[in-house]
Amino acid sequence: MKKLSILILVSIFTFSCNCKKNVTETPAQNINRVWMLVEFKDYKKEYFVEQKAFLDMTNSERATSKMGCNNLSFSYSVKDRKTIQFSQGIATRMFCQDNMKLETDFLASITTINSFSINAHKLTLTASNGEKMVFVAQDWD
């Protein structure tokens, strides 16, 4: 009888406990990572890998980036679960003959971005004209 009472008490405690883990993160929380560029304009993914093209958003107000040559920096703000705005970026002034086009295209496009979505390990930045930049999380295996 004693074992049955203990079993009933344990069962009641277990089933009455509302111990749900919060396993879903909001996009604003999830965006603060280092992202590797994988899709943009007509560039090939292999080129992004070669250039080590990334967007570092670990700071919740200031992003840094490198598209193969100069260090880039700009502020950004997340307005709600899908709206984002980037400021005009600043860059170091090195000249890199072979890979300035990607950097120039990226800097021109980043200020036109106005929305984002995160699906698992993928970040998609979208401009009002429909142009997209797609990134994967650097820490994703």
* CATH code of the domain in which 123 resides: 2.40.128.270
Q: Using the predicted structure, report yes or no on whether residue 47 has a pLDDT greater than 90.
A: yes
Whole domain around residue 72: which residue ranges?
A: 23-137
Q: Using the predicted structure, report yes or no on whether residue 80 has a pLDDT greater than 90.
A: no
Q: Using the predicted structure, report yes or no on whether residue 135 has a pLDDT greater than 70.
A: yes
> What's the helix, strand, coil split of the chain in %, to 5?
25, 35, 40
- Tell me the pLDDT band of 14, cut-offs 50, 70 and 90: very low
Residue 86 lies in a domain: yes
Q: Using the predicted structure, report yes or no on whether residue 66 has a pLDDT greater than 70.
A: yes
Residue 107 lies in a domain: yes
Residue 43 lies in a domain: yes
Q: What is the pLDDT of residue 15?
A: 42
Q: What is the pLDDT of residue 16?
A: 44
Tokens describing residue 81 = 């679960």
- Tell me the pLDDT band of 95, cut-offs 50, 70 and 90: confident
Beta bridge partners of 51: none
Residue 9 lies in a domain: no
Q: What is the pLDDT of residue 100?
A: 84
DSSP-assigned letters across all residues of 31-89: T-SEEEEEEETT--HHHHHHHT-EEE--SSSEEEEESSSSEEEEEEEE-SSSBEEEPPP
Q: What is the pLDDT of residue 29?
A: 55
Q: What is the pLDDT of residue 31?
A: 93
What CA–CA distance (Å, rounded) separates 102 from 20? 45
The distance in angstroms from the start CA to the end CA of the chain is: 52
Residue 16 lies in a domain: no
